[in-house]
Structure 1
């Protein structure tokens, strides 16, 4: 039976902490590359699935709506206003018919 090989007793040139740091950097880089690869695969899958939907949407817009809605018979709603000018929280508000009244100047002087 042979004896086990002799272990070299010469000092190593690289510190063990640097070897550990290099291993951590390698593992981190591999993890980032794996993450980017999975994101790329998900993106390709989304593009592959979305292509028929995009073609269908383009053809639907190009062909126009299947039904036409007649809006000529629909009347616009009547706008109801309060007889005393509605809002009381805005002192500069005017009704449609009033002219010549300037809106109130708002600034930061009263706020501070």
Structure 2
């Protein structure tokens, strides 16, 4: 029975680790996405940092990516940037790849 309990504990630990990594990758992706949008809106470096943090916070409003996409589209439209939702979704995917790569390549 001990072997079964050990395996169960190992799987639980692996699942918890995977969930934590997924959360970190998604938070990094959102930060990169915020930086991407800030460049297009012409924000200063200080404003860019604050905006990237705001995008990360926006992801906690509801499950999924729709809250982040809505925020970016609204903010960019308000800033006078002509951008389509498809462009934001494409950037989201690109930043997801970049964020995952950063975690894989991290020492």
> TM-score normalised to the size of structure 2?
0.37
Which of structures 1 and 2 has the larger relative contact order (alpha carbons within 8 angstroms, sep 6+)? 2
For the pair shown, the structure with the greater C-alpha radius of gyration is 1
TM-score, length of structure 1 as denominator length? 0.35
**In proportion to residue count, which structure has more helix?**
2
